[in-house]
Amino acid sequence: MSLQQELGALAVDIAQEAGALARRRREQGVSIAASKSALADIVTEADREVENLIRDRIAAARPGDGFLGEESAADEGSTGITWVVDPIDGTVNYAYGIPSYAVSIAAVSGRPEPRTWQALAGVVHAPALGELFHVVRGEGAWVGGQRLQVNGVLNPAGSLLGTGFGYDPATHAAQLELLGRVMPLARDIRRIGAASLDLAYVAAGRLDGYFERGLHPWDHAAGVLLVEEAGGVAAGAPGGAPTREMTIAGNAELVARLSAIIFADTHEDNATTPAAG
């Protein structure tokens, strides 16, 4: 077994255990532990408990690997491999009882910085939906036993596009303005509420494309590899990797079209100011 296959298998095992815990806690009732970057940016007790479980399992299986998770302090590690983890992506869905939430786990090599790292393996597991998307670099992206493929052809009716909005109300006007400029490309818009699932759905051809400002590395680490291994492209600014500033995903032609709109010169100020939350 190659290193990335080993990492992928471990990620799947841990995501299944973590997903079962998240689901069990959801059934028992959710308690909000705190607000973070904005009042709407919540963390539940379950987010913390699930992250601790994932962190403990990784440390037991691969001591020395680094860790970058949403809910606890980062650790650079010593092996050159870092685990990038969102214990519950879609926390607001989780808190409201909407089943679109996911455990997202990726193993990356290189510094834990999305501009330069190389993702080796990943999992996006939505326990309440009964779906587990998994990927190993060079071996394709899968949901269960079904291989994923992004939609390769632009639909004449327009593209079904996913997006999201930051938690900070101060970012909403610019994000709505951007959405207005993108709308001519869209047949319709979906706001699923979990970036990792948006990206998994692009990989699966359930969305044609996706764009969002303000994502953190743990929101997109596994999902971006799913898209790439499903034959798609994930980008940030033109020619760059996804960043906090922008994540765009889809087939190459759609990403180029979205990028041209999002980074149009006349709107440079809106496009280059990182969003909070």
User: What are residue 48's phi and psi, to 5 degrees?
Assistant: -70, -45
Is residue 86 a contact point for Ca ion (CB under 5 A)? yes
Could you give the 3-state DSSP secondary structure of residue 195?
helix
Residues 6+ apart with CB under 8 A from 27: none
User: What are residue 61's phi and psi, to 5 degrees?
Assistant: -80, -35
Tell me the number of residues near ligand IPD by CB under 6 A.
15
Is residue 50 a contact point for ligand IPD (CB under 6 A)? no
Show the binding pattern over residues 198-237: x = contacts ligand IPD (CB under 6 A), - = does not: --------------x-xx---x------------------
Distance between CA atoms of residues 224 and 24, nearest Å: 28
* Interface pick for ligand IPD out of 8, 114, 122, 193 (rule CB under 6 A): 193
Report 67-106 residues binding ligand IPD (CB under 6 A): 70, 86, 89-92
**Nearer to Ca ion among residue 18 and residue 271 (C-beta):** 18
Q: Which element (helix H / strand E) includes 226?
A: helix 217-229
Q: Using CB distances below 5 to 8 A depending on partner kind, what does residue 164 bind out of Ca ion, ligand IPD, none?
A: ligand IPD
**Which among 10-18, 26-34, 142-150, 193-201 is the span making contact with ligand IPD, rule CB under 6 A?**
193-201
Q: Which element (helix H / strand E) includes 107?
A: strand 102-109
Q: Using CB distances below 5 to 8 A depending on partner kind, what does residue 194 bind out of Ca ion, ligand IPD, none?
A: ligand IPD
C-beta separation of 191 from 175 below 8 A = no
Residues 6+ apart with CB under 8 A from 131: 125, 143, 144
Is residue 243 a contact point for ligand IPD (CB under 6 A)? no
Q: Using CB distances below 5 to 8 A depending on partner kind, what does residue 193 bind out of Ca ion, ligand IPD, none?
A: ligand IPD
Q: What residue type is 87 in one-letter code?
A: P
C-beta separation of 94 from 103 below 8 A = no
Report 24-83 residues binding Ca ion (CB under 5 A): 70
**Nearer to ligand IPD among residue 166 and residue 250 (C-beta):** 166
Q: Which two tokens stand for residue 209?
A: 């494309």
**Nearer to Ca ion among residue 49 and residue 70 (C-beta):** 70
Is residue 258 a contact point for ligand IPD (CB under 6 A)? no
Closest distance of CB 69 from ligand IPD, Å: 11
C-beta separation of 33 from 50 below 8 A = no
Is residue 242 a contact point for ligand IPD (CB under 6 A)? no
Q: Using CB distances below 5 to 8 A depending on partner kind, what does residue 228 bind out of Ca ion, ligand IPD, none?
A: none
Buried b (16+ CB within 10 A) or exposed e, 53-90: bbbebbeeebeebbbbbbbeeebebeeebbbbbbbbbb
Q: Which two tokens stand for residue 255?
A: 């990403």
Closest distance of CB 119 from ligand IPD, Å: 17
Residues that bind ligand IPD in the complex, under the rule CB under 6 A:
70, 86, 89-92, 164, 166, 193-195, 212, 214-215, 219
- Chain positions contacting Ca ion, by CB under 5 A: 70, 86, 88, 91
